[in-house]
Amino acid sequence: MKISHIAKAVALASFSIAPSVLAQTILLDGKLDEPQWQQATAFNTFYKVVPATLEQTKKQVNAKVYSDEKGIYVGIINYQSAETRKKQFNIKDNFMQGEFNRIYLDFGGDGSSGYLFATTLGGGTQDAVLTPQLTTDYDWDGDWQSQYFEHDDYWSTEVFIPWHTVSFHHSAGENSQSEIGVSIQLYDIANNFIYASQKQTISNSDFYLAMPKVSAEIPNQQQLAFIPYITQQNDLSDRQGDKGQTDVGFDLIYKPAHHQKLSVSVNPDFGQVDSDDVNINYSAVETLRTDKRPFFTQDISVFNVQAEQNTKLIHTRRIGAGSDDGSENITPIDEAVRFVHQGEQLQLGAFAVEESNLDSDAGKSFYAARAKYRQNNWQTGLLTTHVKRPYLDRSASTLAWDSQYQSATWSLQGALLLSHIGTDAEVNTTQTGNGLSLNLGYQFSPNTKITNRFLKLNDQFDNRDMGYLVRNDWQYAQSEFEHSVNYSNDWVTRVKHVVKLSHESNGASQSLPAWQTYSSQFMLTTGARFNLTFDYLTQGEQDNLGFNTTAFTQPSSQGVRLFYQSPYVGDFSWAASFEYDKEGFDSTSTQYAVDLTWMPHANWSINWNNYLRTGEGWLVANQQNVISEYDRDYFASNIIVNGLITEKLEWSSSIQVAFLDAKTQQVFAVQEQGELLKQDLDTSFEDNRLTAQFKLRYRMGPFSDVFLVYRRGSVDSDSYDRDSIGQNSYGNRTSTLWTNPIEDSVTFKVRYLF
């Protein structure tokens, strides 16, 4: 039967399958040759969504979806000849530089959350959770499997996702059939084209609404999962008397039904097996880091509140971070518990985490609760958090009321934010703050949209005990207009124009410096990309350099950026950028970046990133009302080697160095009215850092691994007179950092899912 529209494919979602067929099992080998695939829902019409011409094709990709009592299977056939396709393995959740398929699943069929499963021609994988606001969080890891198969004229992949992988509500209709949203994509790496089974991508507000639905009979199942672990870490350096540490703990997960889950951890393994990237940050804005710890990545979409400028009420990296007495960089956690209920209209979630008290009562307690009600295109909910910090005699609470509406053209998200800090029970000092976040978008067409963002936080708002914010005492507004023009010629396939206009001010109604940006993004027929960006920073009062420094006038500046990315085909690819701008009071700066990738084998890749910024106008607050303008050179380099030794044994390594040379140009004292008085001071300094990690991972199965990790790191930061800065070569600095580590450890870890 010829199928020409997705609607016809969806109509074939439910079939009467013979018992002899049901008794067989699909073998994940990528071939799609089992009889079940003949009975599966077929998606034969795909649309070109990048560039968004929406032209239909039946010759580029076909897909089938089948489900049984175990889970959902997705089979995809990609019609790319052997000489035109790119095969490459990638470490889980790393950048994919081969042909790959994306599968989006909305298990509840209601847009309450979605999940991304991506697999490459080469065996690499990615997975992520999608929030109702269509943001993507790659920290989430799921229990699923995939396999690919190669033919001369096509390559195919089979993916299996068990029902117990996620928590979701499913409402059984006639014949106990539930509706699951399914969207399938092929990324054609040679052209940078994306073909999809629906006309929308996650950049469209109606992605969930227009998602094709597949009927599935989902059995009511209970699940009990037990994941114990043991970690042995040995310190090889001479800086500590304690040379070894052994940790043993477990996670226990119980699901009485698909829409409910209870997670309990005892002495959970919240230590990272992956090091954070080197980061030299002298600004007043904290670096926002991701979190791969399993307890926090599961069901995170239930607790999501979408607020602008990365404002978060829950930033899980706070939990288990440094102790309040400064004795521990990572505070041990005794226990953690979380419960989630996802009903047809009502979602509930709560978690509690208790850090170790240590000897000084410096551990913290974290609590959060979430309730959300949804109906068709809209939802509304409450989130509250509470943190107890007995060592500081401090308690902190936050509350958010958020709502969302989405249609085929409109998208609206809003949140009212409250914070309350209580300190010193005898004096009973309190601080209460509030905030408002709004996001309003309109989709004119698949190639044209506008988004308006607004955030206002008063000077008393403080959510940093569990959350994250760029700053408070802030009013931020931005309008972004995006328009793409698609072409059919010999050199370009799409040009995307983006205009961003913004305004910032503080509670004193002072205008702050704000960025105005125009960029053109060219997608070339060769598969390469070229971007041209013009930036203009308006004149304003700079009040956020740190140390509560008095605001002073920062003049306007402008800059231009060029970026080129080579095609991803072949064994070698590269990207480079150049930026020229003005910074500080009246100085110029240049910035260069080069990314080189060599893939000597389909299972191996070597990536070398280099970044250099040099200029004479870098402003830093050294102490309250004292700022320095530096002649600054900042160089960072990272060499990454990833590969597959055997089918289940992975190797990954990274060596990162960063060197900052800051020579004092001028030092100013900031007066009460913002006047700047020159000071006869030399505040020059160097900051040199190195981190290295070498990791072997043996994959036994989902949440079942053996890790062997060697880590080494060092920091050398000190003040020098101006003439001494930069006299030592980068090679000598690297040697010094390597031979004088402050971290030098070997970690062996085993975890296993029962």
**pLDDT tens per residue, range 108-133:** 888 888 999 999 999 999 999 998 88
Q: What is the pLDDT of residue 297?
A: 84
CA atoms within 13 A of residue 635's CA, in its CB half-sphere: 10
197: which residues sit within 8 A by CB, 6+ positions away? 6, 43, 45, 46, 47, 63, 182, 183, 184, 185, 212
Q: What stretches in the chain show pLDDT beneath 70? A: 1-24, 171-176, 238-242, 270-273, 424-428
Q: What is the pLDDT of residue 20?
A: 32
Whether the Cβ atoms of residue 652 and residue 695 lie closer than 8 Å to each other? yes
Point out which residues pair with 533 in neighbouring strands. Answer: 519, 561
On average, the pLDDT of the chain sits at 91
Helix (H, G, I), strand (E, B) or coil at 523: strand
Q: What are phi and psi of 134, to 5 degrees?
A: 70, 30
Nearest to 528 by CA among 157, 189, 204: 189
Helix (H) or strand (E) holding 296: helix 294-297
Omega before 446 within 30 of 0, i.e. cis: no
Nearest to 687 by CA among 721, 649, 725: 725
pTM, 2 dp: 0.91
Q: What is the pLDDT of residue 21?
A: 35
Amino acid at 590: T
Q: pLDDT digit string (tens) for 177-195? A: 789 999 999 999 988 999 9
Q: What is the pLDDT of residue 272?
A: 57
Give me the sheet containing 71-78, strands edge to edge.
Answer: 41-43, 61-67, 71-78, 155-162, 145-150
Q: What is the pLDDT of residue 169?
A: 83
